[in-house]
Structure 1
Amino acid sequence: MDVAVDLVVLAVRSDDLNILLVQRRKAPFKGQWALPGGGVKRTEDLVDAARRELQEETGIRHAQLDQRGIYATPGRDPRGHVISVTWLALLPDLTLPTAGSDAKAACWRPVRDAAPLAFDHDEIVRDSLEHVRGRLEHTPMAVDLCVVEFTITELRTVYEAVWNTQLDRRNFHRRALRIPGFLDRTDRYRIGSTGAPAPLYTRGNADTLHPPLLRPRRPSPRSNPTPDGQGPKP
């Protein structure tokens, strides 16, 4: 029995939720797209293996990795019984991947266009997405998908991208700012091509959101954002 690591790395790019994928250079599933990952060396800790594989296959060196789950269904890997320990990373849209090692190519791809993937990676992605969608309701996890200083509009865009729904602008603004410890306002502003300068925020000191930011019970279809660099102002 062998042990491997697989990584679900997410970012919001062009107001859309994207996932980091690699094109396999070798069999099995040669030429198909998959999650970054690979085997764990005998002298390696799991998280060290995950960091190594992410760097070797995509060129990304710095990412906060959180262990997500274990996938061990017999037959998930045609080479034998391989247990996969999965890891989750959320990144701001600042990083361009570079293929290396046994990856023929590496790229960001909208989550909705990711499947089908090699191995059981579609299942891993589905489980990870549902985990992230739930965590956004109760924790400040959405801030991990923003740059260090962000506007309320940019934060709302993250929630809309992850939840795949359109949120009421004013209602979201009001709810987010009323949660104790969620956001800290800076004395700086983002100046866009239209509208008034928007105040910038950073992550507060809260680990959980009370009250939570719950997903809409009846999701609204998302509209195409206006290409003004910032979207509508709160």
Structure 2
Amino acid sequence: MNNKQHNIENHQAPFLAVDIIIEYSMNDKEYIVLIERENFPKGIALPGGFAEYGLTLEENAVKESKEETNLEVIIENPEHPLCVHSDPYRDPRGHVISVTYTAKGSGILRSGDDARSTIICPIDEISLLLENGDFAFNDHKRALQDYLKFRGYAK
């Protein structure tokens, strides 16, 4: 039996982040909302950010969506995120575990917080964006691929 005791003060743990794939309807067409990051690492990204102490992951996702896109969101199936990515090297700033949710967004789209701009991409053009887009995080590409499979748009 291992008698090693864990001391939380001396335990180095990864950071935790939430990302959100926001479905947004406009003029009878369906879009996914993305952002262009203001800060390092720059590039296209899903709205999201580091989890704040005292909030659930779902509350963090709603908060980050509002801050970065100005949209009100309803998290789809909050107890079952779309995916979790834990590659220690997914983020050049350090080891960050990302939990990705899907959500329906409504309201007036406007960039804020650390989003330089918002991008709306028609769902039927996501595959093209995945091939040609300059993403800040590779796992955001994987999350979008998972989303396309989950929704039946890809195999």
TM-score of the pair, normalised by structure 2: 0.75
Aligned residue for 2:72, secondary structure, equals coil
Partner of 2:148: 129
Contact 2:19–2:100 (CA under 8 A) maintained in structure 1: yes
Contact 1:24–1:103 (CA under 8 A) maintained in structure 2: yes
Displacement of 1:61 after TM fit? 1.8
Contact 2:22–2:73 (CA under 8 A) maintained in structure 1: no
After superposition, the C-alpha distances for 1:32-80 in whole angstroms (9 at most, x for unaligned) are 2110000001222111100000000000124233321211012100111
The structure that has the greater radius of gyration is 1
Q: 2:33 aligns with which of 20, 30, 52?
A: 20
Displacement of 1:13 after TM fit? 4.6
Displacement of 1:14 after TM fit? 5.5
User: Which one has a larger percent strand, Structure 1 or Structure 2?
Assistant: 2
**Aligned in 2, Cα 1:89/1:62: closer, same or farther, shift over 3 Å?**
closer
Matched, 1:37 2:51: no
Contact 1:24–1:102 (CA under 8 A) maintained in structure 2: yes
Displacement of 1:10 after TM fit? 2.0
Specify the code of the residue in structure 2 equivalent to 1:9: I
Partner of 2:7: none
Displacement of 1:130 after TM fit? 0.6
Alpha-carbon distance in structure 2 between the residues aligned to 1:17 and 1:61: 16
Alpha-carbon distance in structure 1 between the residues aligned to 2:93 and 2:112: 22
**Aligned in 2, Cα 1:20/1:33: closer, same or farther, shift over 3 Å?**
same
Q: 2:59 aligns with which of 26, 43, 48?
A: 48
**Aligned-residue identity in percent:** 32
Partner of 2:11: none
Displacement of 1:23 after TM fit? 0.9
Specify the code of the residue in structure 2 equivalent to 1:3: L
Partner of 2:70: 59
After the TM superposition, which residues 118-197 of structure 1 pair with which residues of structure 2 at under 5 Å, given as runs?
A: 118-119=136-137, 120-133=139-152, 163=153
Specify the code of the residue in structure 2 equivalent to 1:88: T
Contact 2:72–2:107 (CA under 8 A) maintained in structure 1: no
Matched, 1:78 2:92: yes
Specify the code of the residue in structure 1 equivalent to 2:96: V
Displacement of 1:17 after TM fit? 4.2
Contact 2:111–2:117 (CA under 8 A) maintained in structure 1: yes
Unaligned runs of 5+ in 2: 1-13
Root-mean-square deviation (Å):
2.2
Aligned residue for 2:109, secondary structure, equals coil
Contact 2:68–2:113 (CA under 8 A) maintained in structure 1: yes
Aligned residue for 1:114, secondary structure, equals helix
Displacement of 1:102 after TM fit? 0.5
Displacement of 1:123 after TM fit? 0.7
Alpha-carbon distance in structure 2 between the residues aligned to 1:15 and 1:99: 22
Stretches (4+) displaced over 6 A: none
